[in-house]
């Protein structure tokens, strides 16, 4: 299942240490102006080696579009693209050929398919998410034409957590720190923590918050295509994600009377006084800001000796080599945005059909 979406559909392919990562975007409406510099910039935000707190691997990650764009404009035909792998150190993984790394996908892939490309995690590598960033960049360009904006940021690393609601931060500051957090003090604390964890060869997780502004009323396809279910599905499909909540989420110790979002007449427009619903009611967007939180576990690759088994099931141990992130959160922000943007565009397109005959 390497296709994501109903109408705007991304099909992704590629292994970490294979020839290339790539994809096909089908169902993209015609007439979207493709700002190539913007697309590449989105890939750069995900790229390793972009700052001192990410892995030092240098991957250029340049996208080549192969079809579906003519004279700078989408034509409505499928958009094929490819990103060549060209800085892969496959030999870093030679010692893993016959070993299952703990909390990686080595064992499960091997059992599922009977065949496995062990180099760099193969298909299970987060390198695959490059294809999503390309799809997300296209979706963002389409959403921009619709006045919809998707912004993610790191809201927690380990125990360091933003105290406030997204609405109290200046989200335009996110890119000004390598950790992608709008609170500069907390950002510095997070960076210090990540560097400390990294120096020990260990890893750490956290939470990304995402806010979508400008969504019209009516996106979401109940009962099984609720908008938040689609967003949750998108987020849970990102490597290392362990949880998703929107609106009040797991904060359940409130009474219905406290958290109902009361409607009022806001100068002729229907508005809500609060937004505990996170912009979605009954699975359909209500025109308020959509916001949600995504939990990431620590990366499984730690540069420490760990017990494990080999492919014959015998006890052994391993110590990972190579260039890895101690914390993926900063680089995961553009991936969260990409998946959110594709979801919102997909559901925007679906919503055009609801009243198509009225």
Site for a copy of itself in 328-347 (CB under 8 A): none
Nearby residues of 1 by Cβ (< 8 Å), 6 or more positions away: none
Q: At what angle do helices 36-46 and 329-351 cross, to 10 degrees?
A: 140
User: Interface residues for a copy of itself in 141-200 (CB under 8 A)?
Assistant: 142, 145-146, 156, 158-159, 197
**37 lies in the site for a copy of itself, by CB under 8 A:** no
**Least CB distance to a copy of itself at residue 172 (A):** 26
**215 lies in the site for a copy of itself, by CB under 8 A:** no
**214 lies in the site for a copy of itself, by CB under 8 A:** no
**Least CB distance to a copy of itself at residue 175 (A):** 23
**14 lies in the site for a copy of itself, by CB under 8 A:** yes
User: Interface residues for a copy of itself in 38-67 (CB under 8 A)?
Assistant: 64-67
**Least CB distance to a copy of itself at residue 1 (A):** 3
175-183 long-range Cβ contacts below 8 angstroms, 24+ apart? 175/45, 178/50, 178/51, 178/52, 178/53, 178/54, 178/330, 179/53, 179/154, 179/329, 179/330, 180/152, 180/153, 180/154, 180/329, 180/330, 180/333, 181/153, 181/154, 181/155, 182/153
Both tokens of 285, joined, read 């967007």
Binding mask 267-306 for a copy of itself (x = CB under 8 A): -xxx-xx--xxx--xxxxxx------x-xxxxxxxx-x-x
**36 lies in the site for a copy of itself, by CB under 8 A:** no
Binding mask 103-142 for a copy of itself (x = CB under 8 A): xxx-xxx-xxxxxxx----xxx---x-------------x
Cα(326)–Cα(203) distance, rounded to whole angstroms? 4
Closest CA to 206 of 267, 160, 141, 255: 160
User: Interface residues for a copy of itself in 240-269 (CB under 8 A)?
Assistant: 242-250, 252-257, 259-265, 268-269
Nearer to a copy of itself among residue 144 and residue 173 (C-beta):
144
Buried b (16+ CB within 10 A) or exposed e, 185-221: ebbebbbebbeebbeeeebbbbbbbbbbbebeebbbb
Closest CA to 136 of 279, 8, 27: 8
**Least CB distance to a copy of itself at residue 345 (A):** 9
Nearer to a copy of itself among residue 45 and residue 123 (C-beta):
123
How far from the centroid of its chain's Cα atoms is residue 27's Cα? 21
CB 154 within 8 A of CB 190: yes
**212 lies in the site for a copy of itself, by CB under 8 A:** no
Could you identify the residue written with the tokens 């870093």? 92
Could you identify the residue written with the tokens 């893993």? 96
**Least CB distance to a copy of itself at residue 62 (A):** 14
Nearer to a copy of itself among residue 37 and residue 358 (C-beta):
358
> Which member of 11, 151, 209, 343 binds a copy of itself (CB under 8 A)?
11
> Which member of 135, 136, 152, 232 binds a copy of itself (CB under 8 A)?
232
**Least CB distance to a copy of itself at residue 289 (A):** 15
Size of the residue set binding a copy of itself (CB under 8 A): 151
> Which member of 50, 92, 102, 214 binds a copy of itself (CB under 8 A)?
102
């Amino acid at each position: 299942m390497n296709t994501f979406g109903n109408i705007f559909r991304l099909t992704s392919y590629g292994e970490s240490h294979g020839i290339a990562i790539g994809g096909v975007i089908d169902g993209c409406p015609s007439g979207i102006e493709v700002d190539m510099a913007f697309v590449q910039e989105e890939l750069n935000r995900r790229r390793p080696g972009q700052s001192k707190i990410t892995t030092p691997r240098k991957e250029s990650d340049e996208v080549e579009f192969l079809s579906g764009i003519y004279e700078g404009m989408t034509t409505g035909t499928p958009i094929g693209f490819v990103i060549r792998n060209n800085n892969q150190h496959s030999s870093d993984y030679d010692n893993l050929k016959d070993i299952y790394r703990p909390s990686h996908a080595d064992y499960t892939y091997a059992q599922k398919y009977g065949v496995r490309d062990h180099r760099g995690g193969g298909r299970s590598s987060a390198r695959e998410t490059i294809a999503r960033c390309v799809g997300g960049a296209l979706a963002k360009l389409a959403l921009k034409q619709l006045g919809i904006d998707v912004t993610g940021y790191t809201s927690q690393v380990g125990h360091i957590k933003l105290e406030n609601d997204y609405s109290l931060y200046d989200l335009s500051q996110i890119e000004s720190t390598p950790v992608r957090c709008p609170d500069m003090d907390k950002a510095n604390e997070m960076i210090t923590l990540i560097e400390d964890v990294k120096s020990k060869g260990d890893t750490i997780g956290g939470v990304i918050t995402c806010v979508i502004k400008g969504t019209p009323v009516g996106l979401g396809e109940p009962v099984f295509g609720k908008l938040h279910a689609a967003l949750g599905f998108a987020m849970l499909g990102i490597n290392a994600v362990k949880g998703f909540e929107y609106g009040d989420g797991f904060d359940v110790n409130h009474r219905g009377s406290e958290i109902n979002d009361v409607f009022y007449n806001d100068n002729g427009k229907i508005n809500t006084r609060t937004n505990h619903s996170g912009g979605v009611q009954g699975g359909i967007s209500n025109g308020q800001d959509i916001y949600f939180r995504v939990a990431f576990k620590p990366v499984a690759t730690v540069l420490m000796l760990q017990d494990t088994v080999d492919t014959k099931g015998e006890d052994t141990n391993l110590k990972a080599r190579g260039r890895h992130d101690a914390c993926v959160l900063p680089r995961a922000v553009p991936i969260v945005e990409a998946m959110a943007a594709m979801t919102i565009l997909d559901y925007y397109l679906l919503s055009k059909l609801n009243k198509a005959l009225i």
